[in-house]
Amino acid sequence: MEFNHKNLCKIAYKWLGKSKKQNMRFQKFPIHVSEMVCLEVSETPDAIGWNYCNSCVVEVKVSHSDFLADQKKPFRKNDEGMGNYRYYLCPENLISEKELPKGWGLIYVDVKGRTREIKESEYFNLSKTGFHNEKCYLFSICNRMSKKKGF
């Protein structure tokens, strides 16, 4: 498998829809998108999903320098990001557990495209900005769906 951003975003999207955790907070996220741009929001997660009470962001990294740059983004430094749960998804051993920002989870992808959760994300309370941004994304999804289906 080629480890490029597009392929890893597809894997993150599938992971959100097929999460097999048994506890309620980690049931699959039936509403999930990948690489969706929402003009009203400065943060563009690689993949984000929602279930009935929580959200999960997955940030895809194909290089270590990209991972380091991600931590310098204003919404990361100010803890105004989206996602009650937050993960980095990357090729095996690209990011080590000890490098992760506090509370973040880590998912490795092997050469066959299989995922393995290395560290589970802690729960993040969303800031007002993060909550607002998630509402904008959900509205945008609903708006796009209503245009496609003619609601």
Place of tokens 């509403």: 31
Q: Which pLDDT tens digit goes with each residue over 66-119? A: 999 998 998 988 889 999 999 999 999 999 999 999 999 999 999 999 999 999
CA distances from 123 to 22, 86, 133 (A): 16, 8, 18
Q: Domain-by-domain residue ranges, the chain?
A: 5-146
pLDDT at 19: 60
Bridge partners of 91, per DSSP, are: 109
pLDDT at 29: 87
- HSE at residue 11, side-chain half, CA atoms within 13 A, is 28
pLDDT at 24: 46
Q: Strand 115-119 relative to strand 85-91: parallel, antiparallel, unpaired? A: unpaired
- Amino acid identity of 42? S
CA distance 5 to 60: 7
CA distance 98 to 115: 19
The whole model's pTM is what? 0.90
Residue ranges with strand state E in the chain: 31-34, 47-50, 55-60, 85-91, 105-109, 115-119
Contact of 55 with 31, CB cutoff 8 Å? no
Bridge partners of 66, per DSSP, are: none
CA distance 136 to 87: 21
Q: Which pLDDT tens digit goes with each residue over 8-66? A: 999 999 999 886 555 545 568 888 899 888 877 889 999 999 988 899 999 999 999 99
Looking at per-residue confidence, does 61 or 149 come out higher?
Answer: 61
Q: Which two tokens stand for residue 109?
A: 């992808």
